[in-house]
Amino acid sequence: MATRDERYDAAHATKAAGRLAEAVAELETVVADHPDFALAYSALAAWCTRLDRHEDAVRHARRVCELEPKDPFSYTALSVACMRGGKITEAEDALARSRAMQGG
């Protein structure tokens, strides 16, 4: 059986081949098997945003923040997902948290 990283790489190859929805489906199976795989959730947040699946993007971005609570980029990405999904207050809060972590 392929490792989580091999499966992640395969999903990236699917995305690179222009099959984004299929790549999302592949990564969703990876995180189902590996619920602590922050990198896969991060990709899912970005890819779901591109597919206009904003609720999914926000959910995945929130999970990244749960898994990587000390990473300011996690909160920046959450802010972007929220902004695109119309969750302006949450977007502003996430961006403020990211900036505070960076000392600004």
Amino acid 103: pLDDT: 86
pTM of the model: 0.93
Question: Once rounded to an integer, what is the mean pLDDT over residues 9-21?
Answer: 98
Classify residue 103 as left (phi > 0), alpha (psi -120 to 50) or beta.
Answer: left
Confidence of residue 37 (pLDDT cuts 50, 70, 90): very high
- Given a cut of 70, whether residue 10 has pLDDT beyond it is yes
Question: Hey, where are the domains in the chain?
Answer: 4-101
Can you tell me the distance from the alpha carbon of 74 to that of 83, in angstroms, rounded to the nearest whole number?
14
Q: Is the pLDDT of residue 104 over 70?
A: no
**48: confidence class by pLDDT, cuts 50, 70, 90:** very high
User: Which fold does the domain 4-101 belong to in CATH?
Assistant: 1.25.40
